[in-house]
Amino acid sequence: MKRATLILLALSTIVNGLSKPTDSLLSRSFAFPKSGNALWYRSPAANWVLESLPIGNGYMGASVFSGVQNDTILVNLDNLWAGGPFADPAYNGANWGESDVPAVHQRLKALRETIFANGTANDLNGITPDAGQYGTFASAGSLVVSRPQIISNYTNYTRWLDLDDGVIRSTWSEGYITFRREYICSYPDHSCSHKTSASQAIPKILYSIVPIADHSDIEISCKGNSTLVLRARAGANGMGMLYEVAGSVRLSGDGSTTCSNGYISVLNATDIWFTWTGDTEYNINAGTAAQHYSFKGSDPHSQVTGILARVASIPYAKYLQNHLNDYKRGTSQSFSLDLGQSPDWSTPTDVLLKNYQAWQKSRQPSDASTTLLEWILVNYGRYLMFSSARGNLPANLQGVWSQGAWSPWSGDYHANINVQMMYWPVEVTGMDVTQTLWDFIQKTVVPRGGDTAQTLYNVSRGWVMHDETNIFGSTGMKGLDIPNYNPAEWTNYAAAGAWLMTHVWDHFDFTGDIAWLKRQGYPLLKATAEYWLDALQVDAYSKDGSLVVNPCNSPELPQTTFGCTHWQQMIWELFNSVDKALSVLHLGSEKAFLEEVRAARSKVDRGFRISPSGVLQEWKLDLDNSDRLAHRHLSPLTGLYPSYSISSWVPRSDGFMSTDLSKSALINASRTLLMQRGNGTSPDADAGWGKFWRAACWAQLGEPTRFYSQLSYGIARNFASNLFSLYNPFNTAENTLFQMDANGGYPAAVLNALVQAPDTQRRDETLVVTLLPALPSSWSRGHLYGVRTRRGLELDLEWRSGKLTKASIKGPRILNGTVVQVKVQGAGINRQITLTRGQSVTLA
């Protein structure tokens, strides 16, 4: 018998084998989703980073092992961090103190002069302050559900993450007794649950919460006979953020519960549901100077108790339904992708991945199993964002899933590609998960970033941040207190805010939400632009009258210089965003500001130069580039993808500077750079994000073969069997790091092969929408419904044998009369149409 049949039989045995379902959960189908949209395995997870499965509601994350005798669930709270003002009341977000400021301004001035005289500088000349108590995203402990005694060794075990439902399930047998588990994190009910059902009473099952050893003031207590409470501080010696996690057991049917010595003990029950929630004393609304950047709120106890009391009155079936409604509305109501895959219930996901790795090395033609994994990874990337981005804070580098007291890279917000990449698939697939990101920018980095602008750069308007930030508004150019150590390559990145502003503009451009643009989007754009209006320098090296950044490092490269290509693009685009936003808002009060922005924009160096060897330059000067050959970052190509400075290039016609290029020369030099950067495997480069950025760029260049080969290389190389994207994939499990960036970069790269509509400098320029620009031959049939583009447009397309068979475009949601040029690669379609509001036009 083939394994496929066996499993289906096993599942149907389980479903039918229960004579009397004990509640409505058991009467609904407890089987794999028919669509094939799941990750599934035949044994429990043994290792967090490689095998556990994630659920989350944004506020909380849970990493699920689905053990049989002992089940472990790592518990996370999105705002639980060690460090910051909770560890050191004098924590200042890596900024200089008042008394240092005059000297720092002098040193910055000297540094700029060196760079303008010499082209580069050796080090940052003492402008980086100590990072202080930067802290780290920390786990809140784990929930352990154990049975002192099993009935017999288990058989027929399966666990799976159903991506249609956003639920983890598992099932197994012990003798003639069948067990089922269901795990949910519910956004509407602000809690997570762990449900065990058995076809016969379970003699004894214990629930406990295991704290993090490095945390302090740990108290675990019982409340009544069915509630456990953990309270602790995320740091040693009582210094650290206070948090509370509490959970209650409920039974349906027979059984009894007692709670003592940190254990809830349940006897003789068949249906047991443990629901937990948690919170910290972090308060994002207390991050201003007036509140001394304390970020301190109230004791989380009443919030936690209130949620548990409310959830206690909800029947389980209703709880599940609330979650399903929220999940389906948020992920699949209007968006749907088909790559021609078919479900495969004979090959567990870990085996599917192993087969994929072998296939990728073999260079054989792809088949149904490769397409299935490629499709699941798109859904999974969206699932992870939906499950981690909506709570108190945006998704961090780990989403909302971590183990222990410390997270890799502090589980922070790396804003020189990583956080941006996680958000790439969000607007295009219509997920409403970004409000926490805007609030985070507005309430953490903008206030403190105003201090950084002032104390480091002597700029009194606007705000600035650097590459890495935490939840306590770390905005300074943080250094490390190590003698003779030059941190410039990672810390000297002040364009992070400008890059994030492309997301702010896009949010409006995709959704058409004018009220939001006026209330939150435009003020963010303006404050960011204000900083750059004052921080840009007249280029005293080239003496060409242009405005450039100084000092700059191209992300994670050692040269400290001026006019870095990537920074110049981001600032030019930022000024465009201000202009475009005001063309929508028509704010009379902003007239003078708009004139100022336009005047600066007309002088900003847009950054593009081609070296004598034909490569797009990293910097205004053609510096020694041996470090950047095959470098992991593609920073000069930001304007190719995800942005538009290259893709929608229009040479200037005003004769300013002598450096303007034709679009074909710029694209050619960009392609040469992309070739030179290799496939993302050079030393210190073996992360998924570098590969999917490359894949998206190849798609942008309309090269399906290179797109697909880079995409499949990333899949084979950088995912664990739980499909977490990995850094150091071939190291030991202990050294292998999960960073969620590539889980977001992957779906974005796939979509960029199916539909492209790069932004333009002005809103009245024609938007070029290209359908199937880089469709690989292995995705010969499929559909994409409900995909969004900027200007508030929405498209549906279908293709067969690699050719577009049906397409329609709907929109725009707001501005009437949007002009769109629709192109279909290889199909001779090139139509200019004018769309009125909400109108649907059939294209093919």
Ligand X SMILES: *[C@@H]1O[C@H](CO)[C@@H](O)[C@H](O)[C@H]1NC(C)=O
Which residues sit at the interface with ligand X, rule CB under 6 A?
A: 9-10, 13, 69-70, 105-106, 109, 114, 118-122, 146, 150, 152-153, 155-156, 173, 224-225, 251, 256-257, 267-268, 458, 614, 664-665, 668, 672, 678-679, 681, 713, 816-817, 836-837
Residue closer to ligand X (CB basis): 414 or 694: 694
Q: Which helix (H) or strand (E) holds 203?
A: strand 191-210
Residue closer to ligand X (CB basis): 125 or 739: 125
Q: Which helix (H) or strand (E) holds 795?
A: strand 793-800
385 near 437, Cβ under 8 Å? Answer: no
The least distance separating ligand X from the CB of residue 303, rounded to whole angstroms, comes to: 24
Q: What are the DSSP calls for 294-306, one per residue?
A: --B---THHHHHH
Angle ∠(57,62,67) on CA atoms, nearest 5: 140
- Please report, for residues 155, 239, 380, 701, the alpha-carbon distance to residue 611 in angstroms, rounded to integers and kept in the order given: 64, 54, 41, 20
Grouping H, G, I as helix, E, B as strand and the rest as coil, residue 313 is coil
Residue closer to ligand X (CB basis): 106 or 766: 106
The least distance separating ligand X from the CB of residue 678, rounded to whole angstroms, comes to: 5
31 near 338, Cβ under 8 Å? Answer: no
The least distance separating ligand X from the CB of residue 256, rounded to whole angstroms, comes to: 4
The least distance separating ligand X from the CB of residue 397, rounded to whole angstroms, comes to: 25
The rounded distance, in Å, linking the Cα atoms of 340 and 622 is 46
CA 796 to chain centre: 25
The least distance separating ligand X from the CB of residue 17, rounded to whole angstroms, comes to: 8
The least distance separating ligand X from the CB of residue 259, rounded to whole angstroms, comes to: 9
Contacts of 45 (CB under 8 A, 6+ apart): 51, 52, 53, 64, 65, 66, 67, 159, 722
The least distance separating ligand X from the CB of residue 554, rounded to whole angstroms, comes to: 15
Residue closer to ligand X (CB basis): 24 or 611: 611
The rounded distance, in Å, linking the Cα atoms of 618 and 603 is 20
The rounded distance, in Å, linking the Cα atoms of 628 and 616 is 12
The least distance separating ligand X from the CB of residue 717, rounded to whole angstroms, comes to: 8
Angle ∠(563,568,570) on CA atoms, nearest 5: 150
The rounded distance, in Å, linking the Cα atoms of 22 and 694 is 52
The least distance separating ligand X from the CB of residue 624, rounded to whole angstroms, comes to: 8
Q: Which helix (H) or strand (E) holds 157?
A: strand 154-162
Angle ∠(761,765,771) on CA atoms, nearest 5: 100
Residue closer to ligand X (CB basis): 101 or 239: 101
The rounded distance, in Å, linking the Cα atoms of 491 and 121 is 15
Residue closer to ligand X (CB basis): 122 or 583: 122
Farthest-apart Cα atoms in the chain, separation: 85
Residue closer to ligand X (CB basis): 311 or 784: 311
Residue closer to ligand X (CB basis): 68 or 525: 68
Beta strands in 608-751 (DSSP E): 726-727, 737-738
The rounded distance, in Å, linking the Cα atoms of 652 and 639 is 16
Residue closer to ligand X (CB basis): 80 or 272: 272
Residue closer to ligand X (CB basis): 225 or 283: 225
The least distance separating ligand X from the CB of residue 622, rounded to whole angstroms, comes to: 11
* β-bridge partners, 817: none
The least distance separating ligand X from the CB of residue 413, rounded to whole angstroms, comes to: 29
Q: What are phi and psi of 205, to 5 degrees?
A: -140, 135
Residue closer to ligand X (CB basis): 118 or 830: 118
Residue with smallest beta-carbon separation from ligand X: 614
